[in-house]
Each structure stands twice: as C-alpha cells, then as structure tokens.
C-alpha cells in the first residue's frame, strides 16, 4: 500500500501513467476498462494530504490525457490552440483534485468507505459538467462516459445519461484502487467487500432493458459520404467539389436500390459547399439527385443572412419543391466556428483569422420534419450537428420534442487521419443508448455509421473514403428514463458537490484527520512505531464507572 507520504516524484509519474491509461479507453484504441484503470491510478496518485500538490498532480494527469486525446486539434489549427485548449481542460482536473483533497477531510468521509467513494465520483462528474458548460459554452470532449459505449457501464446511459455513466466509471475506479490496497495490506474483509462492490457496479448495466424494436414503423434510409481530395483546413478550397461528390454518391445509391425505395437520403454537415437556396446551379444539382433517387434529401449547408454572420444548417429538400424544413446549429464551436475575444487571441495565434465570418447560434430545438409518403405521416428526425452530439441537453431536447430517430451530420475533413471521427462515433453510440433511438452519424469523410437503439453499430464506413450506406432503421417513441429525467441527474450531482464544498469549509479549521479510509487498522493496545522510531502503545482512555 502506498502511504500518505508517497514520494512526490512518484505521484507525478503516476499522474502521467493515469492520463495515458485513461486515453486508451477511448477510440481508436477503445479498451474501455483502461479508462477505469486510469481513474484508479489518479486516485492513488492523489493520496497525499496536500491540496495544492494534488492540484499539480491533477494538472499533470489532465495535460497528459488531453494533449494526446485531442491531438486532432493540433492537426486542424496548430500547436498553440491545441496546447491552450488542453491546458484549460487540464485545469478542471486540477481543480477537481484540489477540491477532492479538501472535501475528503470531512470526518464522516474518513470513517465511511462508501461515502468516500461516492464523494470522489460526485466531484469528478461535477468537474466534467463544469467544463462542459464553461467557458464559452464548454467543451465536453473526454468525459469518462464517452469511453464506455461498448462496456456494460455504457448501458447505464439509458437510466441517467452521460453523468450516470461517468459517475459509475469514477466509482469503479476508486473501488479498484481500494481492492488493490486491501490486497497489499492482506485485508481479507476489505478486499472482499470492495471486489464484490466493484463487480456489482460493473454488472449493473446488464440489468438495463435496452429495447430495439420498431414502435412506429421503419425508415429505409440512404446515407452518402462524399469524401474530399485533400484533408485539413483546405479541404473545401475546390469550389463545388464537395457538392459534386455528394451528388455523385446519391446517384450511386441507384446501383443498389430502385428509385423511390428510400424514404430519405442523408448528407453530412457541409455536404454542399454552396448554398442551394441562392445558387441556381447548386439547386439544380441537388434537386436532380433527389429526383433521380426519388426521395427527400437531408443535407448540410451554410446560410449567410443579409445582416451578417452565417448559420450552419440542415435542410430538408423535397424533390421538385426545395427546402421544406431546416435546423440551424444551436451550439457553434468557439474558436472554430466563431471567434470570441478575437483581438485578445490573435497575438497568440493567427489561426483565428481563418474564421472570417462568425457563425450564429440557431434558436430552435434540433428537429426536422420528414413527410413520409410510404408511412402516410410526418416523421420527426432529431438533428445534432457535429460537436452538438457531445452536449447532453441538445440531444435530449430533440427526443423530448418527439424525434423518432437521430441524425448526427458532421464534417471531419479538417481533422485528417486522427481519432476525432471515431471519438465522435462513440458519443453517437452513447446517445443512441441514452435516448433509445436509432442513430445515423454521417460524415463528409468518415467515419459514418448506422447505430441501433442499443448502441450497436450495424453499418460503418471507412475513413477518407467515398461510400454509401443503405439501412432500415426502427422508429421509436418511448421516452427513456434519461430523457424523462432531463437535467435532474446533473443538477443533483452539482448540488451535492456544492453541499460537500460547504461542509468542507465548515470543517476547514478543525484538526486534520486521515483523508483516505484505511483498509486495516491496528487494534487498540497494540504497539506501533512513530517516525522517531520509538515504540508506543495505543491506550484506551480511562472512563469512570458507576457502582
């Protein structure tokens, strides 16, 4: 067992190892148990009873994790933005470690192993929620939940969304650490209780009923991944190339289906690099493809209103009619689709000037209507554009509004041959479980996929390939517990975190107590050795007896 006075250099080495291990839990490696083990290592690394030192340990863990995990940002926009974003996100891990060290001094947490574990998990999720909301709308990438799409814990998203999954991962990580420490101390009772508790947490997901059956019919969908000639920020420099690729891909669907067999054809975000609402040639090309395949198109485009700015939109295009419905992205990505505090940031990176026109946020819930001639009714499709899939509220709101399936149109061309696209696919899989909805992630360059309501991938494309997918997806109307609960799981966890912080403040001036529940304690009256080497005995305090 590592003592509370673990050598400082060792704690930093553990922080680096924990960050690397946690990243292995995410795609492309995707060994989900590694993310749990990463939390275990972080827990052990922060056992010193020094808040500020543990904050440094958390910072090192966070930097190690995020610099590797979001290296796609380096590919897309360069070293300075990549390091700056990684450092900002790592600061939240440092804040967590500081607060955790402080809060765990509360006496009741030093006496109760269960409360100790629950507190760690609560504070971890609170930190994730905090960084998912601030600054500039937050950056949820790298939440523990997004590493668990293939694990039993991922199934818990059906009950409580991403917060519950992250909570379970963090709690299991601590249980694993305490199991190891009990084993080292030859504490049979502690080893058994923590091992059994961990097994129960891991097995809990198997009891979640993930139904995949159609409840309101099916849709026969086509999805077109058009690809680009050159990955990176210059992917859209060839005017009309992206549009022409997706038009060609739509016509290619006719090699596998007859006209009219598909209910809808899905294009990705920025599937056309020219707004067909103002460009006659683009309009003719898109309408020609829709007429040929005999189905509406849901396509991604950019709109430029007369009063300035731009919108990132999904347009429902009916053959011979044009746009019948639209959804505008509600959460543009800061420093990528719009530049806040542009003048302050420019001295650090001229990449800000690559965004010449700031994107405006849409104001409507993420849904678009599809008039299905075969079903004889209107089908509501949930729509979350690109990074919006990482934000809990946006996806839940579309399902609560009546969406019967989800579409995640995305443009991953700027990130090149990195893990960004597959990391996003893991998020889409978790959203399918959380909402109980079939989900289609369709990308300009891949990876695109069709996902069943239980998170299982049924169709998948390659990366930087021109491909098409044809699938029948089940439409569903049942509202899952996670969607019913909405923001309440997150609110409860945040409330508890604030309460714990307040309790720690009240106890701040009291004498310090051991901050980690011990796995074995010497019985009273046994000898122990002090730091000076002297042998002392633990004595039972004298008590007065009444005759």
Cα separations in angstroms, 189 against 1, 23, 105, 171, 420: 16, 32, 24, 19, 44
- 435: part of which helix (H) or strand (E)? helix 420-435
Which candidate in 89, 128, 337, 386 is catalytic? 386
* Helices and strands of the chain, counted as H and E runs: 16, 14
What span, in angstroms and rounded, lies between the C-alpha atoms of 123 and 176? 18
- 431: part of which helix (H) or strand (E)? helix 420-435
What span, in angstroms and rounded, lies between the C-alpha atoms of 200 and 196? 6
Which candidate in 269, 388, 397, 420 is catalytic? 269
Token pair in block for residue 491: 């609110």
Whether the link from the prior residue into 461 is cis, omega within 30° of 0, is no
What span, in angstroms and rounded, lies between the C-alpha atoms of 249 and 280? 20
Phi-psi region of 175 (alpha: psi -120 to 50; beta: other; left: phi over 0): alpha
Backbone phi and psi for residue 191, each to the nearest 5 degrees, phi listed first: -60, -45
SS3 content of the chain, % helix, strand, coil (to 5): 45, 15, 40
Buried b (16+ CB within 10 A) or exposed e, 126-161: bbbbebbbeeebbbbbbbbbbbbbbbbbbbbbbbbb
Residue 415 gets which letter from DSSP? G
Single out the residue of 537, 484, 503, 535 nearest to residue 105, CA to CA.
503
What span, in angstroms and rounded, lies between the C-alpha atoms of 220 and 241? 27
Strands 377-383, 405-410: pairing is parallel
In degrees, rounded to 5, the angle at the alpha carbon of residue 15 between the alpha carbons of residues 12 and 17 is: 115
Q: What is the largest CA-CA distance in the chain?
A: 104
In degrees, rounded to 5, the angle at the alpha carbon of residue 483 between the alpha carbons of residues 143 and 25 is: 20
Whether 546 is catalytic is: no
Task: Tell me the torsion sign for CA atoms 254, 256, 259, 261.
Answer: negative
Whether 539 is catalytic is: no
Partners of 39 in the beta sheet? Answer: none
Angle of helix 51-69 relative to helix 8-24, nearest 10 degrees?
A: 30
Which candidate in 128, 329, 388, 420 is catalytic? 329
What span, in angstroms and rounded, lies between the C-alpha atoms of 435 and 452? 11
Whether 386 is catalytic is: yes
Q: Say if residues 271 and 319 touch (Cβ distance below 8 Å).
A: no
* Catalytic site positions: 269, 329, 386
């Amino acid at each position: 067992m590592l003592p509370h006075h673990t050598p400082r250099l060792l704690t930093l080495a553990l922080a680096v190892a924990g960050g690397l291990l946690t990243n292995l839990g995410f795609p492309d490696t995707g060994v989900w148990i590694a993310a749990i083990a990463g939390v275990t290592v972080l827990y052990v690394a922060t056992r010193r009873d020094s808040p500020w030192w543990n904050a440094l340990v958390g910072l090192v863990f966070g930097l190690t994790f995020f610099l590797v995990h979001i290296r796609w940002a380096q590919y897309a926009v360069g070293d300075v933005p990549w390091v700056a974003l990684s450092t900002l996100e790592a600061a939240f891990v440092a804040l967590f470690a500081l607060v955790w060290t402080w809060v765990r001094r509360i006496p009741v947490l030093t006496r109760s192993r269960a409360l100790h574990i629950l507190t760690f998990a609560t504070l971890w999720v609170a930190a994730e929620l905090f960084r998912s909301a601030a600054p500039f709308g937050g950056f949820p990438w790298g939440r523990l939940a997004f590493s668990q799409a293939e694990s039993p814990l991922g199934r818990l998203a059906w009950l409580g969304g991403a917060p519950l999954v992250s909570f379970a991962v963090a709690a299991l990580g601590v249980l694993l650490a305490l199991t190891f420490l009990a084993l080292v101390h030859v504490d049979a009772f502690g080893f058994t209780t923590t091992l059994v508790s961990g097994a129960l947490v891991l097995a809990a997901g198997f009891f979640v009923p993930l139904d995949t059956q159609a409840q309101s019919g099916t849709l026969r969908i086509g999805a077109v991944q058009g690809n680009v000639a050159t990955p990176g920020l210059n992917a859209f420099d060839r005017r009309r190339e992206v549009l022409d690729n997706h038009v060609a891909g739509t016509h290619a669907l006719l090699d596998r289906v007859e006209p009219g067999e598909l209910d809808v054809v899905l294009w990705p975000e920025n599937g056309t690099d020219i707004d067909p609402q103002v460009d006659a040639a683009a309009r003719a090309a898109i309408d020609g493809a829709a007429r040929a395949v005999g189905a509406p198109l849901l396509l991604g485009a950019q709109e430029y209103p007369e009063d300035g700015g731009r919108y990132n939109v999904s347009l429902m295009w009916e053959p011979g009619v044009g746009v019948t419905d639209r959804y505008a992205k509600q959460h543009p990505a800061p420093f990528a689709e719009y530049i806040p505090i542009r003048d302050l940031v420019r001295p650090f990176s001229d990449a800000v000037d690559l965004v010449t026109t700031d994107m405006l946020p849409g104001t409507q819930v993420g849904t678009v209507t599809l008039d299905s001639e075969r079903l004889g009714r209107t089908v509501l499709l949930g729509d979350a554009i690109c990074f919006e899939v990482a934000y809990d509220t946006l996806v839940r709101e579309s399902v609560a509004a009546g969406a019967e399936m989800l579409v995640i149109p995305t443009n991953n061309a700027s990130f090149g041959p990195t893990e960004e696209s597959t990391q996003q696919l893991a998020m889409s899989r978790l959203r399918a479980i959380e909402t109980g909805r079939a989900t289609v992630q369709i990308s300009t360059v891949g990876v695109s996929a069709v996902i069943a309501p239980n998170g299982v991938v049924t169709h998948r494309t390659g990366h930087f390939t021109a491909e098409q997918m044809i699938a029948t997806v089940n439409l569903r109307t049942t509202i899952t517990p996670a969607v019913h609960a909405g923001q309440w799981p997150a609110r409860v966890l945040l409330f508890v975190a604030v309460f714990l912080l307040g309790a720690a403040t009240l106890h701040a001036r009291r004498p310090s107590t051991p901050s980690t529940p011990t796995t074995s304690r010497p019985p009273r009256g046994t000898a122990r050795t002090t730091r000076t080497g002297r042998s002392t005995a633990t004595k039972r305090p004298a008590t007065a007896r009444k005759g």
